[in-house]
Amino acid sequence: MSDTAPALDTADNAKPYSVSELAFALKRTLEDAYGFVRLRGELSKVTHHSNGHVYLTLKDERAAIDGVVWKGQVRGLSVRPEQGLEVIVTGKITAYPQGSRYQIVIETMEAAGVGALLAQLERLKARLAAEGLFEAALKKPLPGMPAVVGVITSPTGAVIRDILHRIRDRWPCRVLVWPVVVQGDAAAAQVAAAIRGFDGLDGAGALPRPDVLIVARGGGSVEDLWPFNDEALARAVAACAIPLISAVGHETDTTLIDFVSDRRAPTPTAAAEMATPVLAELSGYVSDLGARMHRCAGRMVEERRGRVRHADSALRRVPDLIEMAAQRFGIVSGRLGAGLERNAAAHERDLVRTASRLTPLLLQRPQAVQRQRLDSLTARLRPCVERRVERLSERLAALSKLHASVNPERPLELGFARVTRADGSLVRAGASLESGEAVDIKFGDQVTRQAVIDASAPARPLRPKARSPASSQGDLF
C-alpha cells in the first residue's frame, strides 16, 4: 500500500471546526503569543466615546492596527491621545471574533520623544487660549499684606526651605504647606487636588483660608516638568478664586500653568518676594508718612495763625465801619418820611381818578341786558312747557282710565264675588272644587269662608233667607 492513502482517509475523516470555535481559538492564540506588546506609531482616528473609552488607530508608513483604551486606563495615561501624536504604547493583542479583526488593548501610553510632547503642548495651549483661559482680564491682583500664604510643593528639598526663609525675613505671616509630589504621573493630580483643597477652605475651621497661593518646583528637564502642562491642572488653576503664583522651574522654563496663573515668578524665591512685602520698607514708609503728616499739620497751623492775625488787624476798624453804617442809616431814615408822604399822595390821586369813573350806570346797563335776555327766553319757553304739560296730562288721564278698567276690585263693587282656595289660588271653575273643601268668598265689603257641600250636584238657584246678625251675605252653597 502507498503512503498517500491513509493521509487521504485522515483528511476526509477530520472533524470540522465551527466558525465560533475557530474565531475563539485564534483569539486565545493571539493573546497567549502577544500578551505583552510595546508598539510605536502615530495616532489617527482618535475617538473619545461618551462611555469613557478611547478608540484609536496606530499606524506607520506601511501598516495600521486598531486600538482601544478602556475607561479605567484613560486616567493613568501620561499623555492625552490626540490625532497625529507619535506615541509608544504597551498592551496585549486580542481578536474581535464577531468581525474577524484583531486590535491592541492599550494599558500605557507615552509620547515618543520631546518633539511630540512639545507639539501636543502647543495644541493644548492653542485650545485653552481659544477658550479665554489666558485672558489678562481674568488675572486677580495679589494682596498687598497677606495674613496667610499657602504653598503647594514637595515637603523636602531646597524649594520649601528657600520660600519659608524668604517669607520669614520679609513679612511675619502664617504659611500653610500642602505637601505634594512634583514629578511623575501622580504629580498633576496631587497639585490640582491641593489647589482645590485650599480654595475650598472657608476660614471657619482650624485652618484659615490663604490670601495667596504659591505652586513651586525646582528646575528640571521637559519630562520632569511635564506634569505642570496637564490640562486638568491648568483648569484647576483657572477656576481657583485665590490669587495664585506659578513658580515652576527656572526663569527659562515655561509650563502651561504659567499662562493660566495670576502671576508667574522666575524662581520660587522670587514667588515669595512677590507674595509678601518687606516689613522694614513698610515701617520706613509709615515713618515717612508720619513725618510728612506732621510737616503738613505744622504748615496748616501756621497758615491758620496767619489768617487769624490778618483778621485781627481788620477787626481793629470796627468803630469806623459802625460809624459809616450809622451815617447811611441817618440819611435813609431822614428820607423815609417824605417818601411815604409822596407815595400816599400818589395812591390818593389814583383812587380819586378811578372813583370818578365808577357810576351806577355801569352796573344798571348789564342788569338791563340780562333782564331782556331772560324775558326773551321765558316767552320762547312758555308755549313749549304748556304743550308738554298738556300732553302729559292727557297721558295721565288715559293711564287712570286703564287702571280703573283693569282694577280687580272694581267687579266686586258691581256685585260680583271672587272665590279663592285656602292657599290663595283663584277658583276659575266649580268642577275643580271638591266636597268639603274650604273656600274664601270675597265681596265688595268683606270676605267669608265657606265649605263646599257637594261639588258634583247641579247648580240650583239660590233662595233668599234671613240674614243673620253676624253676616250680611248669604251662603251660595
Which residues face 93 on adjacent strands? 104
For residue 20, give Cα distances in angstroms to 17, 25, 92, 98, 102.
Answer: 8, 8, 21, 9, 15
Q: What local confidence, expressed as pLDDT, does residue 474 receive?
A: 45
CA distances from 90 to 49, 107, 223, 224, 232 (A): 21, 6, 19, 21, 24
pLDDT at 429: 78
Q: What is the 3 state secondary structure string of 312-335? A: HHHHCCHHHHHHHHHHHHHHHHHH
SS3 139: coil
What would the 3-class secondary structure string for 427-470 be?
Answer: CCCHHHCCCCCEEEEECCCCEEEEECCCCCCCCCCCCCCCCCCC
- Delineate the domains of the chain, giving CATH numbers in brackets: 18-112 (2.40.50.140), 148-277 (3.40.50.261), 407-477 (no CATH)
Which are the contacts of 272, defined by CB distance < 8 A and separation ≥ 6?
162, 163, 166, 167, 170, 214
Render each residue's pLDDT in the chain as its tens digit; 477 residues.
Answer: 344 444 444 455 677 888 888 888 888 888 888 888 889 888 888 898 888 899 999 988 788 899 999 988 888 887 888 887 888 899 999 888 777 788 999 999 887 765 666 777 788 888 898 999 999 999 999 998 999 999 999 998 889 999 999 999 999 899 999 999 998 888 999 999 999 999 999 888 888 999 999 999 988 877 788 889 889 999 999 999 999 999 998 887 788 999 999 999 999 999 999 999 988 888 888 888 988 998 999 899 999 988 888 877 766 666 777 777 888 888 888 888 888 888 999 999 898 888 877 777 777 888 888 888 998 888 888 888 888 999 999 999 999 888 877 877 777 777 788 888 878 788 777 777 777 788 888 776 777 776 766 655 555 544 444 444 444 444 444
In whole angstroms, give the CA distance from residue 390 to residue 385.
Answer: 9
Contact assessment for residue 427 and residue 421, using Cβ atoms and an 8 Å cutoff: yes
Tell me the whole-structure pTM to 2 decimals.
0.46
At 276 the pLDDT is 92
Q: What angle do CA 206, 174, 144 make, to 5 degrees?
A: 120
